[in-house]
Structure 1
Amino acid sequence: MTGKKRNLRSGLKQRRRQGNPMAAFDQLPPPLRAWLAQAALPWSPRSAHRLWCRALQRCEGDVAQAVSHLSRAERRMLAQDRLTQ
């Protein structure tokens, strides 16, 4: 086997994107899209939607409280990242 072919093989699990991320973003609810536009972290549409659904459920459908919940979650993630650096 030549050196070039060995470099093409890897034991690492490969993650492939499924679908079109822009189309997934376009399908998100408008308040979530607006929040993502100003978010500090690069959220995937899938994870943002999952967190959004949980926030809406906890906030009993109150959109303003759900947005606030997303912001708190992001601040926690940023603080955690700061501690690990």
Structure 2
Amino acid sequence: MPARRNIATSLRRRADPRPMDQFDRLPPDVRAWLARAALPWSPRSVQKLWRRALRECGGDPARALARMDLAEARMLAKDCPKIWGRAHPLISAC
């Protein structure tokens, strides 16, 4: 029987043979962001998001981290109704 997952998210799951090695190679600011993230991001997807955010923000790390916060907020807003339903009081917070 397949293992049940208790996390419902629209983030795609990928097989990462050594995710901690990928995590260790992330810049310290990005590792800190990932440690406090609300969603279970993979190091690979965070690296991709970080590079795109840096490029879009002209290389400014603070603005890139803010862009990553915005990306996560969008993912949460997308996932909230699916997880808790549209009538749930938390939806207004999402």
| TM norm structure 1 | 0.77
Which runs of 4 or more aligned residues in structure 1 lie more than 4 Å from their structure 2 counterparts after TM superposition? none
**Aligned residue for 1:67?**
65
Alignment identity in percent?
Answer: 56
2:75 is matched by which residue type in structure 1?
Answer: M
Q: 1:43 aligns with which of 41, 44, 66?
A: 41
Aligned length, in residue pairs: 72
RCO higher in structure (CA 8 A, sep ≥6): 2
Q: 2:55 aligns with which of 46, 54, 57?
A: 57
CA-based RMSD: 1.8
1:25 matched to 2:23? The reply is yes
Q: List runs of 5+ in structure 1 lacking aligned partners.
A: 1-6, 8-14
| TM norm structure 2 | 0.70
Point out the structure with max Rg over C-alpha: 1
Give the direction of change, closer, same or farther, for the CA distance of 1:17–1:75 in structure 2 (3 Å limit): same
Q: List runs of 5+ in structure 2 lacking aligned partners.
A: 2-12, 84-94
Q: Which moved more, 1:19-28 or 1:54-63?
A: 19-28
